C-alpha cells in the first residue's frame, strides 16, 4: 500500500465530504431542519455545470456560479413549499416532503439530461500532477482549496458578521429572535438558499472527479448525514474535521479491506462515536 497516496486520496475525499455537507451543517445548525433532497441537489449542481459547459458553451469558471444560482433558486422553491412545516418545526413531515422532492428532482433531471452518464471535463480535471510515486489532479487541488475557503468564510460570517449573529439567534431560539424584531422567515429562506448554492458548488467542483449520473445523490446524502452528525450538529469546524476524518478512514479502509464495505464501516464508526461522545466529535465529552 502506498501510504502517501492514500493520505492524498483521503484528504481529497475528506474535503469532498466536508464540502457536500456544509449546506446541511448550516441547515441543521441554524434552522434545525433536514433536507433529504440534498443528494439530488448535489447531482443537479453537477449536471447544470455540465450543461452550462457542454450545451451553452460557458467556460467552467462561469458555469460554476451559474450552477450556484440555479441551486439558490431550487433552495428558495423548496423553502416556499416547506414554509408552513418549517415554522411548525414539523421534522417528520419535512423529512418525507424533502425525500419526495429528491425523487422529483431525480425524475426531472433524468428527463432533461437523460439517463446516461456524462463526463464533466474542466480545465483542471485533465491536468495531472506527479510527485515521486504520488499522483493527483489540479481538480483535486481545487476541491481542497474551495472547501477550505468556504469553511473559513462560513466560520467568519457566522462569528463576525451581523448576518451570522442573526443566524445564531434564530438557531438558539427562533421565538426569542422574533422579539428582537428579526424576520425569522427571511432567515429560513436565506439558509435554504445558502444550502442550495453550497451543494451546487460542491457538485460543480467534485463532479469532475467521476462520471456523473442523474441517479447519483443517495450515497452523498448518507455520507453528509454521517459527517454532520459525527462533527456535532451545527458545528462548522466539527463538520470539517469529521469530513477529513471520514475521507482518510474511507481511503485507508478501501485500500486495506475493500472499497465495497466503506459505507457500513463508516456507519460503524458513527455508532461508536455517538455512543462515546453523543454530541459528536466537536462536542465536549458527555454530549450536548
Partner 1 sequence: MSPVLELADLSVRYGGNRVLDIGALSLGQGEVVGVVGANGAGKSTLVNAALGWSRGAAKVSGRIALCGRDISRMPVQKRVGEGLCLIPEGKLIFGTMTVEENLAEGEDEPGDGRRTYGVDDVYALFPRLKERRGHLGSQLSGGERQMLGIGRALRLAPLALLLDEPSIGLAPKLVVTVLETVRELCADGLSVLLVEQNVKAAIAVVDRMILLERGRIVLEGPAAEMKDNPRIAEAYLGAQKR
CA dist., res. 76 & res. 96, Å (int): 18
Query: Is there a contact between 189 and 79 (Cβ–Cβ < 8 Å)?
Result: yes
Question: Rule CB under 8 A: which of 181-210 touch partner 1?
Answer: 181-184
Rounded Cα distance between 58 and 34, Å, is 33
Asked if 175 is part of the footprint of partner 1 (rule: CB under 8 A), the reply reads yes
Map residue 113 onto helix, strand or coil: helix
Among 172, 219, 271, 278, binds partner 1 (CB under 8 A): 172
Near partner 1 by CB under 8 A: residue from 3, 61, 92, 179: 179
Interacting residue with partner 1 among 114, 145, 163, 173 (CB under 8 A): 173
**Rounded distance between C-alpha atoms, residue 45 and residue 205, angstroms:** 9
Q: Which three cell numbers stand for residue 224?
A: 453528509
Shortest approach of partner 1 to residue 134 CB, angstroms? 43
Q: Does 117 bind partner 1 (CB under 8 A)?
A: no
Q: If we measure between CA atoms, which residue out of 124, 105, 125, 102 comes closest to residue 48?
A: 105
CB of 19 to partner 1, least distance (A): 26
> Whose Cβ is closer to partner 1: residue 61's or residue 179's?
179
Q: Which of 154, 47, 153, 160 is nearest to 109 (CA)?
A: 47
**Closer Cβ to partner 1, 183 or 219, answer by number:** 183
The values of phi and psi at residue 134, to 5°, are -105, 145
Q: Does 169 bind partner 1 (CB under 8 A)?
A: yes
Nearest distance, CB of residue 42 and partner 1, angstroms: 30
Q: Give yes or no for a contact between 36 and 273, defined as CB atoms under 8 angstroms apart.
A: no
Output 112 or 176, the one with its CB closest to partner 1: 176
Nearer to partner 1 by Cβ, of 172 and 219: the residue is 172
The contact set with partner 1 (CB under 8 A) reads: 162, 165-166, 168-169, 172-173, 175-176, 178-184
Amino acid at each position: 500500500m502506498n501510504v502517501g497516496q492514500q493520505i492524498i486520496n483521503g484528504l481529497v475525499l475528506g474535503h469532498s465530504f466536508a464540502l457536500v455537507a456544509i449546506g446541511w451543517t448550516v441547515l441543521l445548525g441554524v434552522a434545525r431542519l433536514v433536507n433529504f433532497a440534498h443528494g439530488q441537489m448535489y447531482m443537479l449542481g453537477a449536471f447544470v455545470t455540465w450543461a452550462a459547459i457542454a450545451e451553452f458553451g460557458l467556460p467552467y469558471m462561469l458555469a460554476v456560479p451559474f450552477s450556484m444560482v440555479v441551486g439558490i433558486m431550487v433552495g428558495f422553491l423548496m423553502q416556499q413549499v416547506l414554509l408552513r412545516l418549517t415554522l411548525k418545526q414539523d421534522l417528520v413531515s419535512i423529512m418525507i416532503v424533502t425525500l419526495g422532492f429528491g425523487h422529483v428532482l431525480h425524475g426531472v433531471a433524468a428527463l432533461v439530461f437523460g439517463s446516461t452518464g456524462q463526463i464533466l471535463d474542466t480545465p483542471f480535471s485533465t491536468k495531472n500532477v506527479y510527485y515521486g510515486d504520488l499522483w493527483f489532479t489540479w481538480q483535486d487541488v481545487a476541491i481542497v482549496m474551495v472547501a477550505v475557503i468556504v469553511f473559513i468564510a462560513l466560520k467568519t460570517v457566522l462569528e463576525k458578521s451581523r448576518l451570522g449573529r442573526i443566524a445564531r439567534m434564530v438557531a438558539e431560539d427562533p421565538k426569542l429572535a422574533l422579539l428582537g424584531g428579526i424576520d425569522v422567515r427571511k432567515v429560513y429562506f436565506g439558509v435554504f438558499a445558502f444550502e442550495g448554492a453550497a451543494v451546487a458548488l460542491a457538485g460543480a467542483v467534485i463532479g469532475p472527479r467521476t462520471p456523473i449520473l442523474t441517479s447519483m445523490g443517495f450515497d452523498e446524502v448518507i455520507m453528509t448525514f454521517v459527517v454532520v452528525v459525527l462533527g456535532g450538529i451545527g458545528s462548522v469546524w466539527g463538520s470539517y474535521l469529521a469530513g477529513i476524518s471520514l475521507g482518510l478512514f474511507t481511503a485507508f479502509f478501501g485500500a486495506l479491506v475493500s472499497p465495497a464495505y466503506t459505507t457500513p464501516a463508516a456507519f460503524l464508526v458513527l455508532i461508536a462515536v455517538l455512543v462515546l461522545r453523543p454530541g459528536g466529535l466537536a462536542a465536549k465529552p458527555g454530549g450536548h
